[in-house]
């Protein structure tokens, strides 16, 4: 076999295993995306007020907040691969029960939403496990020159999940008999089928994950250097494997892996960068409004609920295109230049979107400005934090560090989803429209640009061990 053929086989192997791990991101996007299509039906059927609606929309994120800490322990104890399987089990249980929360024995009208929220939290715990295990696995198997675009496959999978969820929601709505209100017959209520549909996706994920190898860096951490060498050889050939295992072993020999090591000078700065990436990932605009897009379309005058859900799917479809653009640019342009560009672009777009809602413009202009919000998020603000949080830290500390940054990220997601109805109401009182919410995002985008300009490192083309070593320089 020629060197070119070997290289091609290695590239396909690393793409294939990264693709399978990225399906965890699809489940993340599907699970959290479906609530955006279903919450309008939950609101009407269970007569939810703003606070109850906000909690039902964001309750899964509570589980996501706790998931990374459990995931940090599981990823180190049983490996990244097995952690993904545990996550899939939790997601399956959540999908089944949230479809029928009022049909469980002993459930009353008053306790239905309690049951619903509890099992959304359980599903969120599964999403939280995926959110640490999947991107960490991809970062640990990807060669440096390909890590950017392979790592962004996780973000692309999240977006695809967000596209498929409302698309299925739309098909459910137009397929079921239309009653003109809340259907009295349970099987005719769209939200039940929306949540139940996730079980099919989980089953496919489980089948594919069983075929994954173990992470080579986890194998080396457990002293299984021969097994790690075999996986690395499949990834990019024997020479790459020998060099990588040498660097991994040297890095592991210098690390204690204790929690206290995260707070020494240098590593403490890396942790701060990870936390700020998580903050700006969510509060620059898109992640906050993502769960309420059908409602925003309704507020703009679109009365057809099925069309609002369809436009939700179209919006995420455009996000998918932007994420593909990001895949092409990430390893060419670099993380930092894309972040700076996207932050300024999002500031301009959210300011314009605020004007559209403030002056109560209707029609296609609303879809246009909402779609434009996906551009900077898809290019950089959405994917780079997930990518870089798994790049910044050394092997023994990676699971612990990523658990902290990912937990903070989920905290910001929860705060956005939970607070949006309240912020919207406050904006309507202060400036007379929901436009004030988008102007708040404009200010945060400016802070995001300053962060990228003054603090954000560039990780393009560097090995994980080189990045980890850089935090030991004086003054960092």
Predicted pLDDT at 10: 64
Distance of CA 252 to the CA centre of its chain: 29
The CA distance from 261 to 391, in Å, is 17
Percent helix, percent strand, percent coil in the chain, to nearest 5: 80, 0, 20
- The low-confidence residues of the chain, meaning pLDDT below 70, are 1-10, 106-110, 178-181, 254-257, 290-291, 294-295, 298-305, 308, 473-476
**What's the chain's average pLDDT?**
84
Predicted pLDDT at 8: 57
Kindly compute the dihedral angle of the four CA atoms of residues 360, 365, 369, 375, in this order, to the nearest 10 degrees.
180
Predicted pLDDT at 417: 74
Predicted pLDDT at 3: 53
Predicted pLDDT at 214: 92
The CA distance from 339 to 385, in Å, is 10
User: Which residues contact residue 251 at a Cβ distance below 8 angstroms, ignoring those fewer than 6 apart?
Assistant: 394, 395, 396, 465, 468, 469
Predicted pLDDT at 152: 79
Question: Nearest CA to 323 among 151, 171, 138, 122?
Answer: 151
Environment class of residue 355 by beta-carbon count within 10 Å: exposed (0-12), middle (13-18) or buried (19+)?
A: middle
Predicted pLDDT at 276: 95
Question: Nearest CA to 367 among 298, 443, 422?
Answer: 298
CA of 351: how far to CAs of 141, 363, 433, 446, in Å?
40, 19, 13, 11
Predicted pLDDT at 97: 92
- Cα three-residue angle 317-15-11, rounded to 5 degrees: 135
Domain 3-212+255-470 superfamily per CATH:
MFS general substrate transporter like domains (1.20.1250.20)
Number of Cβ atoms within 10 Å of the Cβ of 205: 23
Predicted pLDDT at 473: 67
Predicted pLDDT at 28: 82
Predicted pLDDT at 90: 94
DSSP-derived letter for residue 213 is P
The model's pTM: 0.75
């Amino acid at each position: 076999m020629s060197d070119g053929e070997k290289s091609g086989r290695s590239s396909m192997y690393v793409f294939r295993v990264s693709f399978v791990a990225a399906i965890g991101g699809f489940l993340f996007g599907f699970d959290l995306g479906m609530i955006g299509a279903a919450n309008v039906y939950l609101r009407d059927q269970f007569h939810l007020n703003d606070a109850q609606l906000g909690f039902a929309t964001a309750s899964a994120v509570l589980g996501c907040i706790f998931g990374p800490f459990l995931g940090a322990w599981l990823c180190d104890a049983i490996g990244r691969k097995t952690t993904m399987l545990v996550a899939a089990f939790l997601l399956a249980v959540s999908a089944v029960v949230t479809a029928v929360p009022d049909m469980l024995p002993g459930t009353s009208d008053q306790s239905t939403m309690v049951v619903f929220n509890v099992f959304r939290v359980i599903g969120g715990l599964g999403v939280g496990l995926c959110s640490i295990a999947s991107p960490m696995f991809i970062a640990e198997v990807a060669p440096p020159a390909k890590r950017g675009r392979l790592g962004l496959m996780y973000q692309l999978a999240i977006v695809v999940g967000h596209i498929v969820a409302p698309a299925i929601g739309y098909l459910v709505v137009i397929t079921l008999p239309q009653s003109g209100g809340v259907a009295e017959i349970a099987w005719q209520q769209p939200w039940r089928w929306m949540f139940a549909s996730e079980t099919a996706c989980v089953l496919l994920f489980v089948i594919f994950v069983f075929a994954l190898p173990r992470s080579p860096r986890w194998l080396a951490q457990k002293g299984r250097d021969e097994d790690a060498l075999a996986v690395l050889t499949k990834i990019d050939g024997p020479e790459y494997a020998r060099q990588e295992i040498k660097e991994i072993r040297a890095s592991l020999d210098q690390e204690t892996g204790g929690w206290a090591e995260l707070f020494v000078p240098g590593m403490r700065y890396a942790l701060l960068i990870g936390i700020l990436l998580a903050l700006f990932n969510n509060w620059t605009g898109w992640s906050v409004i993502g769960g309420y897009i059908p409602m925003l379309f309704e507020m703009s005058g679109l009365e057809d609920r099925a069309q609002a859900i369809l436009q939700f799917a179209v919006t995420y479809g455009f996000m998918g295109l932007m994420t593909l653009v990001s895949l092409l640019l990430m390893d060419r342009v670099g993380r930092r230049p894309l972040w700076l560009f996207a932050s300024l672009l999002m500031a301009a777009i959210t300011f314009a979107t605020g004007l559209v809602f403030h002056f109560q413009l209707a029609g296609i202009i609303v879809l246009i400005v909402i779609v434009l919000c996906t551009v900077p998020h898809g290019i950089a603000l959405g994917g780079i934090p997930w990518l870089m949080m798994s790049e910044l830290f050394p092997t023994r500390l990676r699971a612990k560090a990523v658990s902290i940054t990912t937990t903070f990220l989920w905290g910001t997601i929860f705060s956005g989803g939970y607070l949006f109805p309240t912020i919207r109401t406050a904006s309507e009182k202060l400036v007379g429209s929901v436009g004030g919410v988008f102007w708040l995002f404009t200010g945060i985008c400016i802070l995001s640009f300053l962060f990228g300009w003054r603090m954000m490192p560039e990780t393009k083309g560097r090995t994980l061990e080189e990045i980890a070593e850089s935090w030991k320089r004086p003054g960092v």
